Structure 1
Amino acid sequence: MRGRALTAAPFLALALLVGASVGPPGDAPAGAQASDTPSPTETAETPAPASPLVAVVRGPGGIGYWVVTADGNVQVVGTAVDPRLRLPEPLDQSVVDARVGAPGALGVWLRLADGSEVALGDPGPNVYVGDDRPPGWLVGVGTGRLLSGSWWPDIDTACTAGLPRHVRIGQTVLTTLSELEFGTAVAQARDHRVGGILLTGGATPHVWRRIDELQDFAGWIPLMFAVDEEGGRVQRLRGVLPALASAAVQAGRTPAQAGDDARRHALAMSDLGFTVNFAPVLDVGAGPGIGDRSFGDDPAVVTDYGLATVNGIAAGGVLAVVKHFPGHGGASADTHLGPATTAALDRLRVRDLLPFAAAVGEGNAAVMVGHLDVPGLTDGMPASLSHAAVTGLLRDDLGHDGLVVTDSLVMNSIAGRWSVGDAAALAIVAGADLALVGGLDDAEAAFAAVAAAADDGRLTESRLNDAATHVLRAKGVYSCTLVGRVGQWRPALYDPAARRS
């Protein structure tokens, strides 16, 4: 399980920079001094104490934290995302006050002991654009939010909120195209009106070139390229990659062998440009529509082989998506064909949910939610569109804080009751992050419906920001690097010296 720090509550401390030192509870973080009092052995040549702390904020995804000091330096603790981009020179005198810059800008003003002001980042009124970034800009973004009295548990969610709304909405739509249709999605990739593409049909040895071309148009926000590579009869890349055994066949070997196969296959997928594998199936049982796609009827067996496969896919550099939450193995029908019902929720908790709970605990997989009516939970709605299932059961009860994808919203279990647009809006409101739809016409309908839901208040800004942030994190994109670069273009750089003259 991934190590996690400061997740019990949004830990935040802010000292308005008059020498106070603020840090996380317990031991002082690496790089911060526990005390400013010199020891008896210290001499006059002892270096000055570390600069006062501005704040301690949780890192991206709640993993680790950053210790931000008044001179613009950042101590990164327990997170792989390092915000130290072109840091400013340390200040040569103490900071006595700070104030927020212009709305949407990338920094704050610090007032020094001599009465002068210096910029931490770019306080505005205009933001930096293109490849340019002022020294300390990321510190300025975070500190500016803190000084505004606002708090996001994750600083990248704050940056996502600053992106144009059409960019955030576009991240929630996953369209389904054949390889030969990839070239028709140039405008959607360039304008960020889709978050990614699921390959349907087969692939040729040239698929990598078509993916590269679209990624060039996508620019700062790469497209997610997904494919169903479960193995056996569900393997879209069969024509270009070696055959992969079905889950039922894999269960006749060892979990270690299954994991190693998954790793090798993911490496080959990644070489072609695919970033997401809609696998493995964690359904317990071989019910309608599942069959040999399941590892078996025993939750423990499904868990062992499922986790080995998830970890193997992750080791190959691809994101695994476990499916079909909350469990399709014992469902009454194939959701491709029509509505399906599972056993009651109490039964799912002791059987079907166990592999999903284990995968959530591992923390390195996304979850696909199926179109399954769960007695005692969804009140006749499919789980994919149910707030009780997605937000209540998956996020709140099981603790999943990562990406959630719907099963295809053009399947008969959905299409017989809702338009693709209405279904997409319902899914995002319910707590899903990515609505999986059909071709580009469906993608435009989904985009318009999600936008309409945001307009009329059914979809809150907070939910939209969370969904877009989850998608960006799954792509390995840190949203603070997108501010001023995506979806807008602002004029010339602001000169902080002019502000002080």
Structure 2
Amino acid sequence: MRNELPIGRRGGPRPGTRALLVSTALGALLAALLHDPGHRVDGHPVAAPGGAATTSQTPTTTRDPSPAPPPDPCPATVASLTLRHRLAQLLMVGVDPRGPADALDLVSAEQVGGIFIGGDDTGLLSAGLDAVRGAATLPLQVAVDDEGGRVQRVDVLDGSIPSAREMAAAMTPDQVRVLARDRAAALAKRGVTMDLAPVVDTSGLPDATVIGDRSFSADPAVAAEYALAFAQGLQEVGTTPVLKHFPGHGNTSGDSHRGAVTSPPLDALRRADLVPYRDIARYGRVVVMLGHIDVPGLTGGLPATLSPEAYALLRGEFGFTGPAMTDDLGAMRAVTDRVDLPEAVRQALAAGADIALWSSGGRTGEVLDHLEASVAAGTLPATRVDEAARRVLSHKNAC
């Protein structure tokens, strides 16, 4: 039988029952609050007994931003140098190859950034360069031009290597890489850190012409392939390669050692001589040497080493960010017939060179005096000096 509510009470609990339900609900709420002080009522936090209101938050995962690259230390290193020391770091000066005395005096007195060892005497290379390098307060570049064939410096000490043209004719690129690696290892044992090679000029001219057999090939693709292999071999031992002679000396009107020379017009160079410089980053950490070449449509009658437009082409169209070096400013008539050495160095640096080379040695103090005066006069901008110094010191890991 069903239990029914009395008439007049239908639709709701009896008064006693209602009180019991309310009491039960309040007890449940209190228990929940005591169990969970962060419980919310109507979306608002309820304070735990004796404490402040708390909120329950769902943990969120945030992605750490990419770490910022470390600051470039080279500007501070450059700023710590005197102006003369900054300028000296931009010089590579030829020294007496017969022994260490000349090089030691030069580095101790002027703190030049590099020395060049040319000629056929091997006294300095066989005697070792430890004392000379020890006299430098910043890392010293020690350079030779050891290409192979008719241009090599340690053949008497470490054996002869073939010319570039002979390498390309008889060897694979990988064999050339190994040859260059072994040669660099021999040079490194003697204290050499930089080889003014490989030649990337394209030339099909006879062997004895200014470039001739120093070129791997008249085909720019072949020349680039073998130059890359040679550069990689040098780099395996830590030797710096120098690609030369931008924007192309292989098809010029003559020999810049003997006088002014002219190349084919710029548009023609882009189709051949300049092709090996495309995608220049593939060569790795290299220096590029500019030649004393007048390029119609580019240099306006100046040799490329003194032409702002030539450096702009290298930096802009070819995207090169490493140090740019001049060919010899002191012993090649394409420059010496035009201007005296101290002014040639100033013009080259002002145009965009980072390293000014002269093989004849001497006159370093005179050159530095002229450069300091040029900075003071504004004919060699201080900003250009700092830019070149940063590039040189960064390349030498000297910061």
The structure-2 alpha-carbon separation of the partners of 1:257 and 1:221, relative to structure 1 and needing over 3 Å to count, comes to: same
Shift of 1:344: 0.6
CA offset at residue 316 of structure 1? 1.8
Q: Secondary structure at the match of 2:129?
A: helix
Q: Quick one: distance in 1 between partners of 2:273 and 2:84?
A: 37
Q: Deviations over 1:359-415 (max 9, x none)?
A: 34433211000000000110000000100001x101122111101110001211111
CA distance change for structure 1 residues 256 and 408 in 2, over 3 Å: closer, same or farther?
same
SS of aligned partner of 1:174: strand
* Distance apart, 1:162 and its partner CA: 3.0
State how far apart, in whole Å, the 1-side matches of 2:166 and 2:183 are: 16
Measured after TM superposition, the shift of residue 156 of structure 1 is 1.4
Q: Is the 8 A contact 1:205 1:240 kept in 2?
A: no
Cα distance in 2, alignment partners of residues 209 and 463 from structure 1: 37
Gaps of 5+ in 1: 1-37, 43-48, 58-64, 67-141, 143-153, 479-501
Distance verdict in 2 for CA 1:41–1:246, change over 3 Å: same
Specify the code of the residue in structure 1 equivalent to 2:59: P
Q: Distance in 1 between matches of 2:270 and 2:98?
A: 43
- The residue number in structure 2 matching 1:281 is 199
Q: Which has the larger radius of gyration?
A: 2
The superposition leaves residues 114-151 of structure 1 with CA deviations (integer Å, 9 ceiling, x where unpaired) of: xxxxxxxxxxxxxxxxxxxxxxxxxxxx5xxxxxxxxx
Distance in 2 between the 1:187 and 1:457 partners?
31
Q: Normalized against structure 1, the TM-score is what?
A: 0.64
Tell me, yes or no, if structure 1 residue 215 matches structure 2 residue 234.
no
| Separation in structure 2 between the aligned mates of residue 207 and residue 461 of structure 1, nearest angstrom | 36
Task: Name the aligned partner's letter for residue 222 of structure 1.
Answer: P
Q: Choose from 313, 317, 320 the match for 1:400.
A: 320
Partner of 2:75: 157
User: Is the 1:230–1:293 contact (alpha carbons within 8 Å) kept by the matching residues of 2?
Assistant: yes
Name whichever structure is richer in helix by fraction.
2
Deviation at 1:470, TM superposition (A): 1.9
The 3 A distance-change label for structure 1 pair 185 and 260 is closer
Which residue does the alignment assign to 2:37? none
- Residue by residue over 1:468-489, the C-alpha shift from the partner in whole angstroms, topping out at 9 and shown as x without a partner, is 12222232212xxxxxxxxxxx
Matches for 1:83-162 after TM superposition, within 5 Å: 154-162=72-80
- Shift in Å at residue 188 of structure 1? 2.9
| Aligned position for 1:263 | 181
Q: Please state whether the residue corresponding to 1:230 is helix, strand or coil.
A: coil
Letter in 1 for 2:152: Q
Amino acid at match of 1:398: F
Q: What percent of counterpart residues are identical? A: 37
Pairing partner for 1:250 from 167, 173, 176:
167
> How many aligned positions are there?
338
Deviations 1:65-88 (A, max 9, x none): 22xxxxxxxxxxxxxxxxxxxxxx
Q: Deviations over 1:430-480 (max 9, x none)?
A: 1111111144423233222222221111222221012112222232212xx
Partner amino acid, structure 1, of 2:262: T
Q: Contact 2:259/2:333 (CA < 8 Å) preserved in 1?
A: yes
RMSD, aligned α-carbons:
2.4
Question: Matched residues in 1 for 2:185 and 2:122: separation?
Answer: 17
Q: Which amino acid is 1:214 matched to?
A: V
Letter in 2 for 1:408: D
Matched, 1:386 2:304: no
Contact 1:331 1:342 in 2 (8 A): yes
> What pairs with 1:69-84 in structure 2 (closer than 5 Å)?
none
Pick the aligned partner of 1:230 from 127, 131, 147: 147
Q: Could you report, residue by residue, the CA deviation over 1:255-313 in whole angstroms, capped at 9, with x for unpaired residues?
A: 11111111111111111100000000000114540110001110000011011111111
The corresponding residue for 2:35 is: none
**Are 2:232 and 1:315 equivalent residues in the alignment?**
no
Asked if the contact 2:103–2:115 (Cα under 8 Å) also holds between the matched residues in 1, the reply is: no
Letter aligned with residue 237 of structure 1: V
Q: Structure 2 regions of 5+ residues with no counterpart? A: 1-56
- How far did 1:210 drift? 4.0
- Shift of the alpha carbon at 1:164? 1.2
Question: Counterpart of 1:330?
Answer: 251
Partner in structure 2 of residue 240 of structure 1: 157
SS, match of residue 240 in structure 1: helix
Distance 1:229 1:438 in 2: 14
2:124, 2:246 → 1: CA distance? 34
Are 2:356 and 1:435 equivalent residues in the alignment?
yes
